[in-house]
């Protein structure tokens, strides 16, 4: 495993919720990343944002790691959940909230 894959693997496995995104949670630099940040913030989640724009190796490495061609990418408890469209659809249907709760992650408004 290359150094960048080890870095990505460590981030994914040591953070309950991690978002590989363009920009930061405080300052998203693309609309798709911004949408996922809005959803995670709305749910009151504690998550780590990794800015792929800060390092080209991470930007390319995360696509290989997940075998998914686009960014943002959301991981929950070490598992790839999806990109913007999937996260948005899961949120709208309530599936994202259930998935988080099934993994022991508390969301705002959860019992």
| All residues at 6 or more sequence positions from 4 whose CB lies less than 8 Å from its CB, including other chains | 57, 58, 61
Q: Are 41 and 70 in contact (CB under 8 A)?
A: no
30 is known to lie in a ligand binding site? yes
Output the known binding site.
30
Output the known binding site for [2Fe-2S] cluster.
30
């Amino acid at each position: 495993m290359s150094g960048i894959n080890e870095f990505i693997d460590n981030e994914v496995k040591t953070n309950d919720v991690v978002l590989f995104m363009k920009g930061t949670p405080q300052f998203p630099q693309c609309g798709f990343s911004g949408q996922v940040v809005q959803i995670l913030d709305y749910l009151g989640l504690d998550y780590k944002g990794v800015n792929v724009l800060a390092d080209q190796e991470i930007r390319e490495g995360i696509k290989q790691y997940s075998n998914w061609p686009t960014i943002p990418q959301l991981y929950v408890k070490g598992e790839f959940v999806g990109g913007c469209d999937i996260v948005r659809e899961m949120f709208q249907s309530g599936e994202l909230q259930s998935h988080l709760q099934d993994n022991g992650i508390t969301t705002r408004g959860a019992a």
